[in-house]
Every structure is written in structure tokens, then in C-alpha cells.
Structure 1
Amino acid sequence: MKFHDLICENNIDNILFCSEIYKQELNINLIASENYSSKEVLLQQSSCLTNKYSEGYYKSRYYGGCKYVDEVEFLAIERVKRLFNIKYANVQLHSGSQANFAALYSLCSVGDIILCMKLDHGGHLSHGSKINCSGKFYHSIYYGIDNKTGYIDYNEVLNMALRYKPKVIIAGCSSYSRIIDWNMFRFISDLINAYLIADISHVAGLIIVGLYPSPVNIADIITTTTHKTLRGPRGGIILTNNYELKKKIDQAVFPGIQGGALVNIIAAKSLAFKEAMSCDFVLYQKQVLENSKYFAECMINNEFIVISGGTDTHLFLLNLNNKKISGKYFEYIFEKINIIVNKNCIPNDFCSSNVSSGVRIGTSAITSRGFKKKEIFYLSNLMSKLINITDSMNDKKMLYKIKSDVVNLCKNFPIYD
């Protein structure tokens, strides 16, 4: 198997770097928020653009020598505007969380009320969680999902909005697997004259190719990461069609919450945007969705509980209560056989977030390395087999055999040739 053209010399930096390369190549990654950037995108991140400071914006910098930096950022903005069919974009955000905070910072004053999804129902820390700065600067109230259907309870959204009159409503999720009705959120926002922020971090790639509804021309502000289904570098962006909001957003990002932009990451984002315009990207997203739907179906057939009974995206959430194990244990045992997942709270979870009663499964990364239904079927059966064996952790011979099978499967689907 070919990895990177890197000689791992006997020093700690190269040893750790090479260890991570081997880990990624020889592990099956089912974490929904992770993916594999192309080698070209990785190259941009490690380019000489790393050396340049560029506080400010296009043609208006606080540092000299930004002639080519300006062109890099301009190209990234033009590409993402074309990609999402939108008028304005800020590509300087270091992460999705910072994109969300900058969006709130541009719309709200400290203490304003914001309405967002409960964390254990599928929301995100940066959507107003009490343990996050978004929940400390602003007064958060929450909506959730219907306990019977697993779908967003829009009646609850409406009732909370009418009762508390929030300044901002946030629609978006971290572990909710169904289509979000952007138009319903717009309708509710208009009833109380609230701003609507749509966080599409998990579904941006699906939106680009038309496999998931777009909030463009519906939400006032759209935020997203660039590394999940979009398959770019780790980072964030903010989009809007409103020029007045665009000016507020730019001020919120710099000098509001960030200093100098990471020009090398902006260059990598720009290249990822270009890759997302290709026919191959469309085929990739279709396979991601097909794999996810089939994976959820297989897990249900193996007597796992899938929240909402399925998925419309690249991810789904398992409720492990019927298996009488925690998400923490599930994560631990599968890492022993080179399958990486992340524990995740389920709606109304009785366990703490460090333990949890669920696991979130995603198909973006495994689809990037070429997995299809055959491999999905194998994985789902393997998971079921391992969980249903009572004393599986003490059967070292069995664990070694399964781990060897997983490693061999990974070798047949290298990430980087």
C-alpha cells in the first residue's frame, strides 16, 4: 500500500505524523463530521501562503504585500457564490462554530433571546448551548423533536417563538438526520419579525448537488463548515443575499471575533469549491446518500433502533438502549477493531454526554474511499455480531480476526494512492 512520500525519521514530529497517516489508512471512519480532503487540497493547506498575514478584506488590508492574497480570497468568494447561487460570502472563518458566533454577533446584542434546537435532540453547541459562549452571551430557549416520530416538532417551534419572541431563530443540526423545512422556519420567523440563521454544515455537499433543500433565498444568513460533506479543509464560511447583513457579518468576523485570516486555508477552500463543481462530486454525493440510507436500513434489520426510523442525509443516529450498552462502550469496543465512531446523546438521554446512549454514524468518509453497498452490508453485520456477543471484549482471538479483516478491507480501499 502506498501512503505519502514521507520518510519517517526517528523524531517525535515525524513519528506522530506517520502514525496518524497509518491510522487513517487502516481504520474505517464512520464519524459523520469527518471526511478526506483531496491531496491537492492538502497541498494548498501546507503552501507558502501559510507565511502571510492579511488582516482586513480584499483591497483593504492592514498589512502590505497582499497582492496575491487578495486574488486568492477573491477567487474563493467568487467560486462559493457560484456554488450556492448567492450574492455575498465571507470565507475567512476558522471554523463552523466561529461562523455561527459571528452570525449571532452580527444580529444580536448581549442578552437577546435566540431560539435553537436542543443539544440532545440534534442541535449543536454553537447554537446556544448553555456551556458554549453562544448560550452565555445570549438568552437561549429551545425546541426539539417529536418523541414519537423523531422529526422536528414544528408546533413546538411555533409555540416557543410566539411565547418568547426571539431575535433570532437557528435552524440546523449536528445529529438530526431528516430534511429541515426551511420554509416553515421562515414562516415562523416572519410571524415574530425574527432573523433566521440556517446552519448547513452537515448537508452543504448534498445541497450543492440538489439532494437536500437549500435555504438560499429563505434564511437571512447561512453558515457552514467546509470539511464535512463539502470535503474541503477544516474551516467555515458565511453566506447571505442581504447587503446590509453582509456588511455587519464582515465587521463581526474582522475585527469582531478574528484577527488575520488563514490564507492557506482560504486557498484550500477555494480549491474544494472548484472540486465541488465537478460531475464527480455529484456522483460522490449521490453515493454518500445511497450508502447512508442503506446502512440505516441494514442496522434496523439487525435490530438496532435508528432515531426517526431512517435518514435523508449522510448520517443517522443509533439508540443503543435495547442493546443495553452505552455509546461510550460502543465507541471503545469498535476502536479495538479499527472502526471509528463517536458516541452521541439521543433525545431525552438519561446518560451524560461523556457516556451517552447513542452513536452517530456517517458515510461521507467511507464513500470517499470507495465503499458501496457490499461494504456497508459487511459493516452492519459485523457491528451486529460484535455487539450481540456478550463476552466479546474477552475473546481476543475473535477480536484479532475481525481487526485483521477490517485492515484488509481498508487496504483494498486506500485513501491516498
Structure 2
Amino acid sequence: MTVTHATDPDAGILRQQDPELADILLGERTRQSTTLQLIAAENFTSPAVLAALGSPLANKYAEGYPGARHHGGCEIVDVAERLAIERAKSLFGADHANVQSHSGSSAVLAAYAALLRPGDTVLALGLPYGGHLTHGSPANFSGRWFDFVPYGVDAETGLIDPEQVRTLARAHRPKAIVCGSIAYPRHLDYAFFREVADDVGAFLIADAAHPIGLVAGGAAPSPVPYADLVCATTHKVLRGPRGGMILCGEELAERVDRAVFPFTQGGAQMHTIAAKAVAFGEAATEAFAAYAHQVVSNARVLAGHLAAEGLVVTTGGTDTHLITADPAPLGVDGRAARGRLAAAGIIMDCCALPHADVRGLRLGTAAVTTQGMGEAEMVRIAALIAAALRDGPEARRIRDEVREMAEAFPPYAPPYSA
């Protein structure tokens, strides 16, 4: 069956009107379909999500919230946003959901705006240990506006040290404590962080950008019962459009909504909000729950076989979709390893390694699991990674094998596949 859709670069109107851009989009489609996507923050949305993103809702200006917009003609988009809100609340068991944040960083900015004032003290995981830019980087608004105190991880285990967190909280009496990371592969003890926050009279903000999809699928513990605010992205494991959201109780709902609009953002992106609604609906299914658990199973197998190939896997493994590893035993550092792997068609990131002056690799299994790969493919991927790192000149041979593997598991059925 031939399907023509605005999201397909081969769609006639785009090919006719702007062939140069159509070629660019086709090039990216081919890249995604012929290489292995192991970036921990990336995934493939469903065609239904893509359809919502390419819908007429992209044309609508809708500053404000349902029933209280600053523009006319919002009757239909109000229904779409209410649907996204209700689905998010049901999916995560939250009293309130704001689905307008344009990104995870935008959600964190709004969370800080709702609870803090410039100069307030905030306790968060330090950037060298996996903290995000919004957790106190001097190059980010967070580090410029607030006084961040970093906690770290144990030098031997790579795990967060609860006593250090408690000691720092009592010493600095922060206005808020942030728990969350972009490179910590283990589950967080949200009950512990709630206990510490209560002990020092602090708000608890959970930055669940990475694990929220696993939470939706029942494959990771939920921060919602413990945190005052939960910030998250709607892409990554959740498999929705690129965007953010905030979950909270009713007592903070008005503060959160005002912090998103009008304080930190203008008009809502209604096509993205509609796509979020689609993703929340998909994530409420048994099929998504099975997917989320498979993501974790794949990550554990991949981590174990990377260790068997000689890489040093931090914390000795993973509880999530995310793995961080040091390739130094194979004779290459993280930055060089990322480049060598990219040449072989294996795409991932590098990251800081705790208590080290070198960078390691950060990878995840969300996207390849969406493509239908399982434990057997993870064993093969680990071998391909090790081969590319050990023998750079053999990249072409490895690249051919990677392409063959990727094409055996196309991310989209025709007409979306390359």
C-alpha cells in the first residue's frame, strides 16, 4: 500500500516544492535506518506521533491554558491539551500535569521558577557525577541564578552516598533538593530523598527525564509519590515527541502553571502537545509495558557483554536503559572511542566519568529495542563495539555488518523506512 504523508520526505508536495530539503530529510532517514542508534536520550516515535507533529495544530497560536487562552479559535486545541493532561495524570498517578514545556530543560527552569528565588541554595548531583546542565552548571541559568551545592558518588562503587547527601543537606539547608541524572544507571531511592528534604525543610524536585518512560511501563520506581515536582521529557524511553512536562500535587499546580506561562514560555506548541497525548496513550498499553521491561533486559545484557569484552562498566551494570563505561582498557579514551564507533555506524555519546579526568561512553537501549532487537542482538552489538574500538582500520568491515544489522530491524515500515 502506498501512503503519502507530510512526515515522509518522499511526500510529493515536499519533493516538488523544496527538493533540496527533501534530500536532507531523506539523508537523515537513511542515516537512522542504516546505523545503530545507541544515544541514551534518543528513540523512534510511532508514526501516529509523527502524524500529530505534522498536523494542522502546528498552525494554532494558543497562549494560556484550556478555557483561558489569549487567542481566539482555541476550542479544538483546548480539547487536545485537556486530553494530554488527563492521560498524563492517569499514566503517572499525578494530581496535576503541565504538558506545555518545550523541553526537559524548560521544565526544570519552570520548576525552579515555581519554587525558588535567585540566590537560593539547591542541592543536586554534581555535573562530574552525572548531573545535568540545569543542575548547577556555571554556563547555564541554574548555575548563574542559584547557589548549587553538589553531592557525588562513591569512588569505589559509583553509587550515590546517602550519608554525604544527608550531611550536605544539614550543613547547607537548601531551599530545594534535586534528584536525577543524565548518566546514573541505577534507580534512585526517592523515599530517602523525601526523608532528607523533610529533615531540612526543602522542596524535592525529581528530574526524571531519563527514567520516566520506564516509570510509565512499570520498569522503574515512580518519583511521583515522593517529589513535590517531577520534571520529565516526553521523548527518550517514553517514545513521544521532543518536549517536557511537569507533574505535581494540586497544592503547587497554580504555581507550576504560572511558572510555565507566562513566566518562562509564550505560546504552547499545540501540535507537540497533541503528539504528547498520543504518546501517553501508547504508554498506557500492555505492549508498552513489555517494551519498557525489554529495554532494561537489553541494557543489562549489553552492559554485561561490554564488561566481558574488557570495558569497565560503571557501578558494575545498570537498572535502567542507560550504560556508562570506560573504554580505556581497549586503548582508547571516550572522545576518540565515540569517533571510532561513529565511523563504524555505531552512534553514542561520551560523558564524564566519576572521580576520573577522562571521558567515557554513555549509551542506551531504548531506540534499538523499539526496532525490535532483543538480548541476542545486544550480544552482537557488544562484540561490534569492542571490535571497532580494538581495530580502527577494520571499521569498514564493521560498518557493513552494522548496516546489515540495522536494516534487518527497520525503525519504520514503508514508506518511512529507507
Bin for the TM-score computed over the shorter chain: over 0.9
Q: Secondary structure at the match of 1:361?
A: strand
The amino acid across from 1:388 in the alignment is: R
Q: Give the aligned partner of residue 354 of structure 1.
A: none
Q: Give the aligned partner of residue 301 of structure 1.
A: 308
1:348 corresponds, among 330, 342, 355, to: 355
| Residue 332 of structure 2 is aligned to residue 330 of structure 1 | no
Q: Give the aligned partner of residue 55 of structure 1.
A: 63
Q: Give the aligned partner of residue 94 of structure 1.
A: 102
Cα distance, 1:194 vs structure 2 = 0.2
Q: Give the aligned partner of residue 184 of structure 2.
A: 176
2:388 corresponds, among 378, 386, 389, to: 386
The amino acid across from 2:398 in the alignment is: I
Q: Give the aligned partner of residue 216 of structure 1.
A: 224
Deviations 1:228-279 (A, max 9, x none): 11000000000011x2311111111000000000000000000000000111
**Partners in 1 of 2:308 and 2:270 — Cα distance?**
47
Deviations 1:68-89 (A, max 9, x none): 0111100000000000011101
Cα distance, 1:334 vs structure 2 = 1.1
Contact residue 144 and residue 153 of structure 1 kept, 8 A = yes
2:371 corresponds, among 350, 354, 369, to: 369
Number of aligned residue pairs: give it: 404
State the percentage of identical aligned residues. 39
2:26 corresponds, among 18, 21, 41, to: 18
Cα distance, 1:326 vs structure 2 = 1.8
Q: Give the aligned partner of residue 286 of structure 1.
A: 293
**Partners in 1 of 2:385 and 2:278 — Cα distance?**
36
| Residue 149 of structure 2 is aligned to residue 153 of structure 1 | no
The amino acid across from 1:359 in the alignment is: L
Cα distance, 1:5 vs structure 2 = 4.5
Cα distance, 1:160 vs structure 2 = 0.8
Q: Give the aligned partner of residue 277 of structure 1.
A: 284
| Residue 46 of structure 2 is aligned to residue 46 of structure 1 | no
Range with bigger deviation, 212-221 or 25-34:
212-221
The amino acid across from 1:6 in the alignment is: A
1:245 corresponds, among 252, 276, 279, to: 252
2:398 corresponds, among 395, 402, 410, to: 402
Contact residue 344 and residue 388 of structure 2 kept, 8 A = no
**Partners in 2 of 1:342 and 1:294 — Cα distance?**
19
Cα distance, 1:385 vs structure 2 = 1.9
Contact residue 130 and residue 140 of structure 1 kept, 8 A = no
**Partners in 1 of 2:374 and 2:225 — Cα distance?**
35
| Residue 11 of structure 2 is aligned to residue 6 of structure 1 | yes
Cα distance, 1:4 vs structure 2 = 6.1
Contact residue 343 and residue 399 of structure 2 kept, 8 A = yes
Cα distance, 1:12 vs structure 2 = 2.1
**Partners in 1 of 2:9 and 2:403 — Cα distance?**
18
Q: Secondary structure at the match of 2:209?
A: coil
The amino acid across from 1:364 in the alignment is: A
For 1:200-211, list aligned pairs within 5 A.
200-211=208-219
Q: TM-score, normalised by structure 1?
A: 0.94
Cα distance, 1:11 vs structure 2 = 3.1
The amino acid across from 1:386 in the alignment is: A
The amino acid across from 2:315 in the alignment is: S
Structure 2, unpaired ranges of 5+: 3-7, 414-418
Contact residue 4 and residue 416 of structure 1 kept, 8 A = no
| Residue 106 of structure 2 is aligned to residue 106 of structure 1 | no
Cα distance, 1:6 vs structure 2 = 3.4
Deviations 1:141-165 (A, max 9, x none): 1001111111111111111101110
Q: TM-score, normalised by structure 2?
A: 0.94
The amino acid across from 2:401 in the alignment is: D
1:320 corresponds, among 290, 311, 327, to: 327
Runs of 4+ more than 4 Å apart: 2-5, 7-10
Range with bigger deviation, 126-135 or 86-95:
126-135
Structure 1, unpaired ranges of 5+: 352-356
**Partners in 1 of 2:404 and 2:320 — Cα distance?**
28
Contact residue 34 and residue 364 of structure 1 kept, 8 A = yes
Q: Secondary structure at the match of 2:274?
A: helix
The amino acid across from 2:31 in the alignment is: K
Calculate the aligned-residue CA RMSD, in Å. Answer: 1.4
Deviations 1:329-360 (A, max 9, x none): 11111111111011111113314xxxxx2000
Q: Give the aligned partner of residue 191 of structure 1.
A: 199
**Partners in 2 of 1:337 and 1:217 — Cα distance?**
44
Deviations 1:106-129 (A, max 9, x none): 000110000000112111111222
Deviations 1:7-59 (A, max 9, x none): 65673211111111111111100000000000110110011100000000110
Range with bigger deviation, 121-130 or 38-47:
121-130
Contact residue 331 and residue 390 of structure 2 kept, 8 A = no
**Partners in 2 of 1:28 and 1:210 — Cα distance?**
26
**Partners in 1 of 2:183 and 2:219 — Cα distance?**
18
